[in-house]
C-alpha cells in the first residue's frame, strides 16, 4: 500500500503571493519615510487605514464575486446612487436650519436612510445577479449596462445637484472609538474578517471557489451554481451599501458621482491582490494587502508631494503589471 | 476516368506525448476514385485528414499532390492545391446568406473594392444548380434546415477548384433524399476526375458509393482493397485486428447472470437525441454501453443523471423510483456520474485534491460551516483507499496524472455515498497501469453492491471488463450482448449495423 498521501500542507503559491505584496508595501513605506519621516507617524498610519476603509469594504464584496468567476463593474454607480438616496432622505427630513426640525423627523431620518440603503443595495445586487444568470451573457457587459443605468438613476434622483447632510449622520464616517480609532476602520476590519471566515470556513465560500474554478464541474457535483452566484452579487450589493453609508457620512454631502471611483479602485485592489479574473483563486488576506497597496500609493504620493493626478497613472500601470505577472505565472503552471 | 494519382502520402507519422497517432502511413488517391477511410475510434483517420487539409503538421513523411512533394501543408496551401474538406460539423456563418457563405473567402468585388452581391449570388446560384442542390442562393443560413446546410457546405467545397474532396461523415445528418443528392454529386464529379476521400462508419454506404476502402487501426494502415473484391466482414475483421494478449482479467471472473435487476433504466427518451432506451443492471455486474461516438451514449448518461432534459424515462434502484430532476437531486438519490471529459466537467483543476473529493458530499449536506479537520481526515482516508499518488492532499488536481485525476473524481462520488456510478469513458488519457487499477476498483465496487455502468469507445476494454454490454446505434439501444457474445467483433458489428445485414 502506497501511503503517499501526506498530511503536511504545502501552501506555496499563496504564501509567495502574500509575501510579494508585503515586500512591495514595506518597500514603499521605506522609500516614503526616508523622503518624508512624517509618513510613519501614528496619525498618518491611522489616516491611511481610514482612507482605505471604504475601498476595502467594497473590495471584499467584489473579491468574493471574482472568486466565483464573476465581475460587477456597476459597484461605483451603485454607491453613488445609494449616496444620493441617503442625502435626499436626510436633507428632505432634517435638512435646513436645525430649529425648524421636529424631533420625530430627526429620529426617523437616519434609520430610514440606513434601511433604505441596505434594502437598495440588496435589491441592486439581486437584480444584477439575476440578469447576469438569466441573460447568460458575460457579467462584464451586463454590469456595464447597469453601471450606466444606476448612474442615470443617481442623476435623476439628485436632479443634477447635490444634497447636504447639514452635519447630521456624522458618527459612522467621522466617529472614533476611544477618540483614537475611526469607526470606518472597525467596519473595514470586520468585513475583511468575515470575508476571511466565509472563504475559508464556510461551505458557501468553498462553493464560490468551485464555481469560479470550473462552473460545469461544480454543477455536475450538485452545487446550485445559479443560486450561489446570485447570492454573491447580493453580498457585493450589501458591501456597496455599507460603503455608501460610511462614505456619505464622512463626506457630509452627496452628488451623483460621489462613489463612482470606488468601483474600479476596489477592483484594482482585488486584482493587485492576486484574485484571478478567471475565478477560483484569491483569499481575504491578499484582498486586504491589495487594497493596502492601492491606499498606500495614494498616501505616499501626497506625502512625497507628487502631483496627485499621477496617482491614477501609477495605479493603472500597477494593475497592468499585476495582471501580466499573474498571467505569466499561471501559464507556466 | 483518369487514373493518375492526385494525392498521396509517403511514410507520414505523427505522435503526441504518449501516443503514436499515425505511424508511417502510405496512401494513394487516384483521380476519379472514391476511397473510403475506415477504422475504430482513435484509429488515426481524423489525424490523417487534418494533416492532408493542413490543420496539422506531420512529424515526418511527405504529402504528394499531383506529383509534387510537400513536407507539410498550411490550410490555405491545401485549399489552393485543390484539396477541399467538408467537415462533420457545419462551419458556415449563420448570419450570412448561402451565396456569401459559398464565396466567403473569395467574394467577388467591384472596382471600389466593395462586394458585388449580384455577381456573388448569380455565381452561387449557377453552382448550386450545376450540383443539383435546390437551395435559394439568397437565403440566410438561419432559415435553412439541417440537411440544406450540409448541402451548402458541400457546394462550398466546389466553389473553388477541387481536385480532392474530403468528406468526413457526410451522411451523418442527411436523410435519403439528401444522400442521393450527395451521391449524385460524387458520381458526376468523379467522372470529371475528382478524387474523393470518404470517411464513414456506415459500411453499407461505403460499399454503395466507394471504389476502394482503406482500413486504419491504431495509427497504422492495415490495407487498401477494391470494394468489389472484399466483404464487409473482412473489413470489420481488419478494423479489429488480431488482439493477442488480453487487456485485463477480472479477479473473480465475470459475475454471470444473477437474477433480478439492481437498477432498471426505463424508456429514456428525448426526440432526436436518445430513442426510448431501456435496460437493467443486475446485482453485482458491470454493465457496459458501447457504440460509435455520436450514437447517443453520453446523452443517455446525462439524462439518467438529470443533467439534460428528457421527454420520458424512469430510473428504479431496487424497485424504488430514483429518477433525478437535477444533478443535485441525483446526488441526493445516490447517483454519481464520472463525466466523459474530466477536465471539462469532472474536476476543479485549480483547487486542491481534498476540495475536489469533498465537493459532491458538501453539496448534499446542509451544514453551513466546514469541518476542516474531519474533512482532511476523511478525504485522506478515501484517497489512500484509492491509492491516489500525491505528496499532499493540498496538491492542486491539475498537477496530477490522468489516472490519479480519474481516481479523484471517483473518490468524490464514493465520498458522496453514490450507489449508482456511471463511468463515461473512464480510461481516456489514463496510462496502462492506472487503467487496470480503475478496472479493479470498478470490479470491487460492483461486488460490494454498487451499480456500475461503463460507457466506452474502447471495445477491448468493454470485452475485458463488462458482464454485459448494450450497444447503441443511431440513438437506440440495439442489442445487449452477454457472455460469449461479447467480442470486439460483435460490438463493432452492432455499432455499425453490419450484424443484421450479413
A225, A287: one domain: no
Instruction: Single out the residue in A258, A286, A301 at which a domain terminates.
Output: A258
Q: How confident is the model at residue A18 (pLDDT cuts 50, 70, 90)?
A: confident
Give the pLDDT confidence of A222-251 residue by residue, as tens digits. Answer: 999 999 999 999 999 999 999 999 999 998
For residue A19, being part of any structural domain is answered with no
- Which residues in chain A are closer than 8 Å to B391, comparing Cβ atoms? 4, 6, 10
Amino acid B322: pLDDT:
93
A188 plus A331 within the same structural domain: no
The H or E element that residue A77 is part of is: helix A75-94
Which H helix or E strand runs over B168?
strand B164-168
A4/B contact by beta carbon, under 8 A:
yes
Does residue A308 fall inside a structural domain? yes
**Residue A28: pLDDT over 80:** yes
Confidence of residue A326 (pLDDT cuts 50, 70, 90): confident
| Boundary (domain end) residue, out of A258, A283, A316 | A258
Q: Which of A202, A219, A222 comes nearest B370 by C-beta?
A: A202
Nearest to B293 by CA among B73, B472, B100, B168: B472
pLDDT in tens, B328-347: 999 999 999 999 888 889 99
Asked if A201's CB is within 8 angstroms of B393's CB, the reply is no
Report if residue A14 sits inside a domain: no
Q: Is residue A107 part of a domain?
A: yes
* Predicted local confidence at residue B36, as pLDDT: 93
| CB atoms inside a 10 Å sphere around CB A34 | 10
Together in a domain, A252 and A269? no
Asked if A203 reaches chain B (Cβ–Cβ under 8 Å), the answer is yes
Select the more confidently predicted residue: B311 or A297: B311
- For residue B486, pLDDT over 80 is answered with yes
Q: Give me the interface pTM, i.e. the ipTM.
A: 0.84
Express each pLDDT in A135-167 by its tens digit: 988 899 999 999 999 999 999 998 878 888 877
Domain span holding position A149 = 72-258
Report the gap between the CA of B456 and the closest CA in chain A (Å).
20
Q: Which of residues 109-128 of B touch A (CB under 8 A)?
A: none
Residue A82 has what pLDDT?
Answer: 95
Query: Does one domain contain both A92 and A206?
Result: yes
> What span, in angstroms and rounded, lies between the C-alpha atoms of A304 and B321?
73
Same domain, A191 and A234: yes
Predicted confidence (pLDDT) per residue in A186-199, tens digit:
999 999 999 999 99
pLDDT on residue B243: 55
| Nearest-CA distance B272 → chain A (Å) | 23
Higher pLDDT, B257 or B33: B33
Mean pLDDT over each residue of chain A, to the nearest integer: 86
pLDDT tens-digit profile of B165-186? 999 888 776 777 788 888 888 8
Q: Which residue of A has its CA nearest to B359?
A: A221
Which of A94-103, B99-108, B224-233 shows the highest mean pLDDT?
B224-233
Instruction: Give the CATH class of B263-496.
Output: alpha beta
Most confident of the ranges A171-175, B48-52, B131-135, B234-238: B48-52
Q: Residue A169: pLDDT above 90?
A: no
Which residues on chain B are in Cβ contact (under 8 Å) with A215?
none
Which residue in A has a C-alpha nearest to residue B394's C-alpha? A9
Distance from CA of B409 to the nearest CA of A (A): 10
B387 chain-A contacts, CB cut-off 8 A: 1-2
Rounded Cα–Cα distance for residues B219 and B39 (Å): 9
Residue A239 and residue A281 share a domain? no
- Domain shared by A162 and A173, yes or no: yes
Q: How far apart are CA B389 and CA B377, in angstroms?
A: 16
Domain range summary for chain B, segments of one domain joined by +? 1-82+162-241, 92-160, 263-496
A12 pLDDT exceeds 50?
no
Read off the pLDDT of residues B419-474 as tens digits, 9 standing for 90 and up. 999 999 998 877 777 888 899 999 999 989 899 999 998 888 899 899 999 999 98
Q: Which residues of A touch B411 (CB under 8 A)?
A: none
Q: Does B315 touch chain A (CB under 8 A)?
A: no
Q: Could B384 and A1 be called an inter-chain contact, meaning their C-beta atoms sit closer than 8 Å?
A: yes
The answer to whether the CB of B226 falls within 8 A of the CB of B238 is: no
**Chains A & B: contacts with CB separation below 8 Å:** 111
Count of domains forming chain A: 2
Q: Are residues A247 and A293 located together in one domain of the fold?
A: no
Q: Is residue A20 part of a domain?
A: no
Which chain B positions have a beta carbon within 8 Å of A7's beta carbon? 376, 380, 392-393
Q: For the ranges A6-15, A41-50, B270-279, which has the lowest average pLDDT?
A: A6-15
**Tens-place pLDDT, residues B205-258:** 888 889 999 999 888 898 899 988 888 888 888 887 765 445 677 766 676 556
The shortest C-alpha distance from B320 to chain A (Å) reads 21
Phi, psi dihedrals of residue A167, rounded to the nearest 5°: 80, -5
Whether A5 contacts chain B with CB within 8 A = yes
Is the residue at A81 inside a domain?
yes
Put simply, whether A12 touches B (Cβ < 8 Å) is no
Do A250 and A271 belong to one domain? no
* Torsion angles phi and psi, residue B49, rounded to 5: -60, -40
- Contact: A216, B345; criterion CB under 8 Å: yes
Q: What's residue B164's pLDDT?
A: 92
Residue of B nearest to A11 (CA): B394
- Residue-level pLDDT at B181: 85
- A217 with A296, same domain: the answer is no
Query: Which chain B residue is nearest to residue A2, measuring alpha carbons?
Result: B387
A3 touches chain B (CB under 8 A): yes
Name residue B454's beta-bridge partners: B288, B423
A321 and A227 share one domain: no
Chain B residues with beta carbon closer than 8 angstroms to that of A66: none
Looking at beta carbons, which residues of chain B come within 8 Å of A11? 394
Q: Among the CATH numbers 3.40.50.300, 3.40.228.10, 1.10.10.10, 3.20.80.10, which is that of B1-82+162-241?
A: 3.40.50.300
- For residue B312, pLDDT over 90 is answered with yes
Measured CA to CA, the distance from residue A163 to residue B76 in angstroms comes to: 65
Mean pLDDT of chain B: 86
One domain, residues A329 and A222? no
Tell me the Cα Rg of chain B: 25
CA distance A157 to A271: 32
Amino acid at each position: 500500500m502506497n501511503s503517499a498521501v501526506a498530511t503536511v500542507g504545502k501552501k506555496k503559491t499563496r504564501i509567495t503571493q502574500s509575501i510579494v505584496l508585503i515586500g512591495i508595501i514595506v518597500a514603499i513605506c521605506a522609500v516614503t519615510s526616508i523622503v518624508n519621516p512624517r509618513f510613519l507617524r501614528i496619525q498618518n498610519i491611522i489616516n491611511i487605514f481610514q482612507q482605505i476603509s471604504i475601498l476595502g469594504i467594497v473590495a471584499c464584496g467584489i473579491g468574493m464575486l471574482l472568486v466565483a468567476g464573476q465581475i460587477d463593474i456597476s459597484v461605483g454607480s451603485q454607491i453613488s446612487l445609494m449616496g444620493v438616496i441617503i442625502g435626499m432622505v436626510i436633507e428632505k427630513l432634517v435638512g435646513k436650519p436645525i430649529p425648524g426640525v421636529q424631533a420625530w423627523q430627526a429620529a426617523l431620518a437616519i434609520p430610514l436612510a440606513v434601511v433604505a440603503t441596505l434594502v437598495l443595495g440588496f435589491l441592486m445586487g439581486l437584480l444584477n445577479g439575476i440578469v447576469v444568470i438569466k441573460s447568460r451573457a458575460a457579467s462584464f457587459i451586463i454590469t456595464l449596462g447597469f453601471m450606466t443605468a444606476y448612474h442615470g438613476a443617481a442623476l435623476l434622483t439628485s436632479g443634477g445637484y447635490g444634497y447636504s447632510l447639514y452635519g447630521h449622520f456624522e458618527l459612522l464616517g467621522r466617529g472614533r472609538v476611544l477618540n483614537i480609532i475611526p469607526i470606518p476602520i472597525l467596519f473595514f476590519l470586520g468585513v475583511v474578517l468575515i470575508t476571511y471566515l466565509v472563504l475559508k470556513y464556510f461551505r458557501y465560500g468553498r462553493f464560490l471557489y468551485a464555481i469560479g474554478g470550473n462552473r460545469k464541474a461544480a454543477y455536475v457535483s450538485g452545487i446550485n451554481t445559479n443560486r450561489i452566484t446570485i447570492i454573491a452579487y447580493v453580498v457585493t450589493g450589501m458591501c456597496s451599501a455599507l460603503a455608501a453609508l460610511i462614505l456619505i457620512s464622512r463626506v457630509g454631502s452627496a452628488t451623483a458621482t460621489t462613489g463612482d471611483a470606488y468601483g474600479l479602485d476596489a477592483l484594482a485592489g482585488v486584482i493587485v491582490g492576486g484574485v484571478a479574473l478567471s475565478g477560483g483563486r484569491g483569499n481575504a488576506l491578499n484582498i486586504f494587502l491589495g487594497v493596502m497597496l492601492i491606499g498606500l500609493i495614494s498616501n505616499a504620493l501626497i506625502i512625497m508631494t507628487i502631483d496627485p493626478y499621477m496617482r491614477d497613472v501609477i495605479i493603472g500601470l500597477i494593475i497592468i503589471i499585476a495582471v501580466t505577472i499573474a498571467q505569466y505565472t499561471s501559464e507556466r503552471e | 476516368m483518369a487514373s493518375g494519382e492526385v494525392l498521396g502520402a509517403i511514410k507520414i507519422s505523427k505522435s503526441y506525448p504518449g501516443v503514436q497517432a499515425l505511424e508511417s502511413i502510405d496512401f494513394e488517391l487516384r483521380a476519379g476514385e472514391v476511397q473510403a477511410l475506415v477504422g475504430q475510434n482513435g484509429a488515426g483517420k481524423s489525424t490523417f485528414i487534418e494533416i492532408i487539409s493542413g490543420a496539422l503538421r506531420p512529424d515526418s513523411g511527405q504529402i504528394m499532390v499531383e506529383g509534387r512533394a510537400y513536407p507539410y501543408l498550411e490550410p490555405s496551401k491545401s485549399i489552393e492545391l485543390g484539396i477541399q474538406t467538408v467537415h462533420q460539423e457545419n462551419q458556415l456563418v449563420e448570419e450570412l446568406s448561402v451565396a456569401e457563405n459559398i464565396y466567403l473567402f473569395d467574394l467577388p468585388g467591384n472596382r471600389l473594392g466593395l462586394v458585388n452581391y449580384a455577381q456573388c449570388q448569380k455565381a452561387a446560384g449557377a453552382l448550386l444548380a450545376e450540383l443539383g442542390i435546390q437551395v435559394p442562393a439568397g437565403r440566410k443560413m438561419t432559415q435553412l434546415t439541417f440537411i440544406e446546410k450540409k448541402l451548402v457546405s458541400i457546394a462550398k467545397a466546389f466553389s473553388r477548384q477541387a481536385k480532392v474532396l474530403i468528406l468526413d461523415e457526410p451522411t451523418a445528418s442527411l436523410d435519403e433524399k439528401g444522400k442521393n443528392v450527395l451521391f449524385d454529386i460524387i458520381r458526376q464529379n468523379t467522372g470529371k476526375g475528382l478524387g474523393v476521400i470518404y470517411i464513414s462508419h456506415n459500411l453499407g454506404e461505403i460499399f454503395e458509393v466507394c471504389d476502394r476502402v482503406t482500413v486504419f487501426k491504431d495509427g497504422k494502415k492495415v490495407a487498401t482493397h477494391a470494394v468489389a473484391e472484399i466483404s464487409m466482414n473482412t473489413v470489420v475483421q481488419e478494423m479489429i485486428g488480431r488482439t493477442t494478449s488480453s487487456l485485463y482479467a477480472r479477479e473473480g471472473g465475470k459475475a454471470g447472470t444473477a437474477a433480478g435487476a439492481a437498477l432498471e433504466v426505463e424508456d429514456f427518451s428525448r426526440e432526436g437525441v436518445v430513442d426510448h432506451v431501456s435496460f437493467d443492471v443486475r446485482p453485482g455486474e458491470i454493465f457496459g454501453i458501447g457504440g460509435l461516438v455520436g450514437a447517443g451514449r453520453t446523452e443517455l448518461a446525462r439524462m439518467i443523471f438529470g443533467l439534460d432534459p428528457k421527454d420520458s424515462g424512469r430510473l428504479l434502484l431496487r424497485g424504488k423510483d430514483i429518477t433525478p430532476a437535477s444533478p443535485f437531486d441525483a446526488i441526493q438519490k445516490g447517483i454519481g456520474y464520472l463525466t466523459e471529459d474530466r477536465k471539462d466537467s469532472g474536476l476543479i483543476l485549480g483547487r486542491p485534491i481534498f476540495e475536489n473529493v469533498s465537493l459532491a458530499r458538501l453539496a448534499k449536506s446542509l451544514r453551513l460551516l466546514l469541518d476542516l479537520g474531519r474533512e482532511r481526515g476523511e478525504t485522506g482516508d478515501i484517497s489512500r483507499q484509492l491509492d491516489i499518488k500525491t505528496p499532499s492532499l493540498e496538491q492542486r488536481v491539475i498537477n496530477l496524472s490522468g489516472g490519479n485525476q480519474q481516481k479523484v473524481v471517483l473518490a468524490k462520488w464514493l465520498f458522496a455515498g453514490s450507489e449508482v456510478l456511471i463511468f463515461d469513458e473512464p480510461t481516456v488519457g489514463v496510462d496502462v497501469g492506472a487503467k487496470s487499477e480503475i478496472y479493479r476498483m470498478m470490479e470491487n465496487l460492483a461486488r460490494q453492491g454498487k451499480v456500475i455502468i461503463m460507457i466506452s469507445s474502447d471495445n477491448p476494454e468493454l470485452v475485458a471488463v463488462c458482464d454485459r454490454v448494450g450497444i447503441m446505434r443511431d440513438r437506440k439501444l440495439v442489442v445487449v450482448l452477454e457472455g460469449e457474445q461479447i467480442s470486439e467483433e460483435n460490438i463493432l458489428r452492432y455499432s455499425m449495423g453490419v450484424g443484421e445485414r450479413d
